[in-house]
Amino acid sequence: MSRSVLFVAGEGLPFIKTGGLADVIGSLPRTLAKRGHDVRVALPLYKKIIEKHYDKLERLGTIQVRSGWIDQPATFYRCDVDGVVYYFVEHQGYFERDGLYGYEDDGERFAFFQRAVLDMIYF
């Protein structure tokens, strides 16, 4: 029986890696896709991804995402690699930084990312 699976992660190969999470996101979705499942991965669109992979990304559109007490724009992109669909959430203020983690607003950044992915499902 074929399943539809969405992985939501802060990092993942083949696009960006700081630790072991990226290895899992780089291998498990591909393995499931090879077994016939519809597999998708959502990642933040970090500055380093823009620098290395922007020409491969297809822009899907922009929506307003409720984040706390304000609405903020999230732009979505797509890229297909090895049978897996990757979605990227762009927010310049949150993700276009030199590093991935270790900022005072990490909780706010990743709460926004998760909410944006939930909203993207209905986009």
CATH code for 4-121?
3.40.50.2000
Q: Report pLDDT digits (tens) over 66-107.
A: 988 899 999 999 999 999 999 999 999 999 888 889 889 889
Tokens 């992915």: give the residue: 117
Single-letter residue type at 20? G
N-to-C CA span, the chain: 27
Sorted by where each begins, the domain ranges of the chain are 4-121
pTM value?
0.94
* Per-residue 3-state assignment (H helix, E strand, C coil) for the chain: CCCEEEEECCCECCCECCCHHHHHHHHHHHHHHHCCCEEEEEEECCHHHHHHHHHHCEEEEEEEEEECCEEEEEEEEEEEECCEEEEEEECHHHHCCCCCCCCCCHHHHHHHHHHHHHHHHCC
Q: Report pLDDT digits (tens) over 18-62.
A: 889 999 999 999 999 999 999 999 999 999 999 999 999 999 999
